[in-house]
């Protein structure tokens, strides 16, 4: 089975070499696709240099327009489908997701359609986040679960494994949310399609290097995007 880890990047020069090395260091046959939004800090150039060491395992695609996390992932998902991958993973570049947990997500997804690295399925497993950020994230998941009726504890999680058929049937061209709301929409579309979704408990660790991409616009989109998803679902337009 072909497995691809998609890592979206924008100004991640402090992390990108180490995160790629960590994935390949698992020796579990994972390939990596970096989707870089033309980072001015040279992230793409670092990946290009590493491709000389991993010519058949490491891939890079550079987008000219920085228009949101969701668009970067959709770009990567389509690339994965075109290149015959069976399991496709989302993972951050900043080590907030432990690369070794990719193995747990893969094993879980083999018995389901989609697996989620969950911060909240077994209490609150977040390290080094300010309390305000924890409350915001945990509260957001409760809000989403209540409005959309999804039996998922970590609805905004960005550490996910999809089986190929989920991405083929979910309607990638119809996904509209771009920021962290994208993570919610992907889960909701899979849920509405009746796919089996499982949560795998993980420990999420706040980044040590580089800058967070969270901002008020992302939060605004997620809040009102959820209401729009609910409306579309009610009128059969999802």
Q: What is the pLDDT of residue 149?
A: 94
pTM: 0.92
pLDDT < 50 positions in the chain: none
Q: What is the pLDDT of residue 217?
A: 63
DSSP the chain: --EEEEEEESS-TTTHHHHHHHHHTT-S-EEEEEEE---TTSHHHHHHHHHTTSTTTEEEEE-S----HHHHHHHHHHHHHHTT-SEEEE--SSSSS-TTHHHHHHHHHTTSSEEEEESSTTS--EES--HHHHHHHHHHHHHHHHHH----S-TT---EEEEHHHHHHS-GGG----STHHHHHHHHHHHHTT--EEEEE--EE--SSS-----HHHHHHHHHHHHHHHHHHHTT--
Q: What is the pLDDT of residue 214?
A: 53
**pLDDT tens-digit readout, 94-136:** 999 999 999 999 999 999 999 999 999 988 888 887 888 888 8
Q: Give all strands of the β-sheet with 30-36 in edge-to-edge order.
A: 58-62, 30-36, 3-9, 87-90, 160-163, 114-118, 197-201
The rounded radius of gyration (Å) of the Cα atoms in the chain is 17
Residue reference for tokens 């209540």:
146
Q: Where are the domains of the chain?
A: 3-234
d(CA 116, CA 154): 8
Q: What is the pLDDT of residue 76?
A: 98
Q: Which residue, 57, 65, 1, 63, is CA-closest to 33?
A: 57
**pLDDT tens-digit readout, 81-95:** 999 999 999 999 999
Q: What is the pLDDT of residue 230?
A: 87
Q: What is the pLDDT of residue 38?
A: 95
| 3-234 is classed CATH 3.40.190.10 | no
Is there a contact between 73 and 8 (Cβ–Cβ < 8 Å)?
A: yes
Q: What is the pLDDT of residue 190?
A: 97
């Amino acid at each position: 089975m072909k497995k691809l880890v998609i890592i979206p990047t924008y100004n991640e020069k402090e992390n990108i070499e180490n995160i790629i090395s960590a994935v390949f260091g698992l020796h579990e046959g994972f390939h990596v696709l970096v989707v870089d939004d033309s980072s001015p800090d040279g992230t793409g150039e670092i990946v290009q240099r590493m491709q000389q060491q991993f010519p058949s395992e490491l891939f890079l695609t550079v987008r000219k327009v920085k228009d949101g996390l969701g668009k970067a992932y959709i770009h990567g998902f389509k690339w994965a489908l075109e290149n015959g991958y069976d399991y496709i993973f989302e993972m951050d570049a900043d080590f907030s997701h432990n690369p070794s947990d990719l193995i747990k997500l893969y094993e879980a997804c083999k018995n389901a359609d989609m697996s989620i690295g969950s911060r909240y399925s077994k209490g609150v497993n977040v390290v080094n986040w300010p309390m305000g950020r924890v409350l915001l994230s945990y509260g957001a998941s409760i809000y989403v679960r209540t409005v959309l009726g999804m039996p998922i504890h970590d609805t905004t999680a960005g550490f996910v494994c999809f089986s190929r058929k989920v991405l083929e049937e979910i309607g990638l061209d119809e996904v509209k949310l771009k920021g962290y709301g994208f993570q919610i929409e992907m889960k909701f579309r899979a849920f509405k399609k009746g796919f089996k979704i499982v949560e795998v408990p993980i420990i999420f660790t706040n980044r040590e290097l580089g800058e967070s991409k969270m901002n008020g616009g992302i939060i605004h989109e997620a809040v009102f995007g959820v209401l729009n998803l609910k409306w579309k679902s009610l009128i059969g337009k999802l």
